[in-house]
Amino acid sequence: MSDDEPLDVSVIVPVEQPPFSLEALYREYAAPLRAAGLRFEFVFAAYAWHREHTRPVEALAAAGEPIRLFEVGHGIGETMLLKLAAERCRGRVLVTLPTYLQVEAAVLPALVKQVEQGDDLVVARRHPRVDSLVNRWQSWVLHRIVSPLSGDSIHDVACGVRALRPALLRELTLYGDFARFLPLLAMREGWKVSELPAAVHPDAMAARVYGPGVYLRRLIDVLGLLFLLRFTEKPLRFFGLLGSLAFVPGLLILAVVFVQRLAGQGIAERPLLLLGVLLTTLGVQSIALGLVGEMIVHLQAPRRRSYRLREADRPPSPPAAAARPGPADPSRSLERPGRPGPADAAR
């Protein structure tokens, strides 16, 4: 197979954390693609210090398996590994896989087929959830937080098994750890996103519990996602709300302290005065920051586009009724541009 020959599917595996056996992952997920008659390749993007984990797939590639391996010399995060690998893929459809097992491999051909039928991004939804109660509880909490952003149309944002069009990754602005929320970002910019039920993998039944730092980082990511999806075009609403929550109580505190001072009470040593000054200062600064953000958005608006238009699917129109001959209507002109009309023929 030529290196420039287009393929049906490119499977991207970003290897950021110490992975499950990459050789076993390849053999399990390549089998249904091969059985479906799809021409495919697996593209592994890993850090240089993961070579002990990538040597088995290097051996498979040397044996003739459709595998390509790319290494990065420093930590750039899963999102950038995904984007860098996508730039080197040859498939008409991309499939992303995490390095740990989430769903059964049999769903991959169906994901690819749904993209070929018109969807831009298809997420494998783990349904029914029969894995650990801890995993289900963590997923429930995440979706309670992000459900206002998705309109309850995506039920498994955290599943990393997805099929998508290469253009989506090229056009979408991704950085940090936002690849985790790829369906939500794609929906925001007008891509057609859907879900496909998939059976939970038998090896994914155990509880996955992370350290406190991981949960804190994910909470910060969710807050950043909330700001990007809701307030990118109107930053004053976000910072103005925060500023008002600080400025109004601070102003009330200062008003009470002022009345007490008029009544003859000393206020120089009172912590309440410092609290009021602090709150009003923070409120004014937050509102000013929102105003600066509004000016930046206004100045950048003519040079950027943060959305994508897509023509809505419409049902086919019924066949036109056959025209019946009748008397000519002199009020209607039958002339068409480029063709002689009755007035030209008379000349």
* Reported pTM: 0.75
Residue ending a domain, choose from 265, 281, 301: 301
Predicted pLDDT of residue 315? 53
Predicted pLDDT of residue 309? 57
Same domain, 210 and 169: yes
Distances 267 to 249, 253, 254, 273, 281 between C-alpha atoms, Å:
18, 12, 11, 7, 19
Residue whose pair of structure tokens reads 């020959």 in the numeric block: 5
Residue ending a domain, choose from 176, 211, 231: 231
Residues 258-277: pLDDT tens digits? 998 888 787 777 888 899 99
Count of helix runs (H) and strand runs (E) in the chain: 11, 7
Residue ending a domain, choose from 266, 283, 301: 301
Looking at the domain assignment, is residue 178 inside a domain?
yes
Same domain, 179 and 92: yes
Same domain, 216 and 285: no
Looking at the domain assignment, is residue 307 inside a domain?
no
Looking at the domain assignment, is residue 321 inside a domain?
no
Same domain, 247 and 226: no
Same domain, 154 and 19: yes
Looking at the domain assignment, is residue 322 inside a domain?
no
Same domain, 11 and 92: yes
Could you give the count of Cα atoms lying within 13 Å of 54 in the half-sphere of its Cβ?
Answer: 22
Same domain, 80 and 220: yes
Order of strands across the sheet with 193-198? 67-72, 40-47, 7-15, 91-96, 162-164, 121-126, 193-198
Residue 339 has pLDDT above 60, yes or no: no
Residues 273-330: pLDDT tens digits? 899 999 999 999 999 998 998 888 778 766 655 555 556 555 555 554 444 444 444 4
Report, as an integer, the average pLDDT of 106-126. 95
Same domain, 241 and 226: no
Same domain, 90 and 186: yes
Distances 289 to 5, 59, 167, 301 between C-alpha atoms, Å:
51, 55, 35, 18
Report, as an integer, the average pLDDT of 191-201. 93
Residue 287 sits in which domain range?
A: 235-301
State the CATH number of the domain containing residue 189: 3.90.550.10
Same domain, 183 and 221: yes
Looking at the domain assignment, is residue 94 inside a domain?
yes
Distances 302 to 292, 293, 298, 306, 316 between C-alpha atoms, Å:
17, 15, 8, 11, 36
Among 174, 203, 207, residue whose Cα is nearest residue 96: 174
Q: Which of 51-55, 79-83, 102-106, 328-332 has the lowest mean pLDDT?
A: 328-332
Residues 208-253: pLDDT tens digits? 888 888 888 888 888 888 888 888 788 888 889 999 999 999 999 9
Q: How many domains does the chain have?
A: 2
Scanning 232-270, the segments in alpha helix (DSSP H) are 235-262
Looking at the domain assignment, is residue 343 inside a domain?
no
Looking at the domain assignment, is residue 59 inside a domain?
yes
Same domain, 157 and 33: yes
Question: Using an 8 Å Cβ cutoff, are 120 and 168 in contact?
Answer: yes
Looking at the domain assignment, is residue 331 inside a domain?
no
Question: Using an 8 Å Cβ cutoff, are 88 and 68 in contact?
Answer: yes
Sequence-distant (≥ 6) Cβ neighbours of residue 36 within 8 angstroms: 109, 112
